[in-house]
Amino acid sequence: MTVSVLQFGAQIACEIRDSSVNGTQEVRNPETLGDLLDILGRNPPPEFTMLKSTCALLAAYLEKPTEQIKVDSVNETKDGFHSYLVGRKNKSNSIRSYMNFRRILLK
């Protein structure tokens, strides 16, 4: 009986590539709510529809489309947005939910 001795994996091993060069996408920080929705829409979280609704309400409150609302400016809308939701006669649980999703958008 003839036996050949080969190094483990020597014949079938392929070159190992650096993962930082291949296949990683450049991460960009969203500047507007529209950018943020586009990024979230690629791999939507379970609460994506509520995030879209919150963005729509923020756009109505600020009277601008989401493509013109800077993410940084959303932080300044806390008190006014709450008053806007109260003025729309939303229930307290809805107001709390929208304010919570507004906070989630800022993360």
pLDDT, tens digit, for every residue of 24-66? 556 678 899 999 999 999 999 999 999 999 999 999 999 999 9
- DSSP-derived letter for residue 68 is G
What pLDDT, on the 0 to 100 scale, is given for residue 78? 87
Cβ count within 10 A of residue 26: 4
pTM for the full predicted model: 0.72
Q: For position 9, what pLDDT does the model report?
A: 57
Q: Look up tokens 């091993």; give the residue.
A: 13
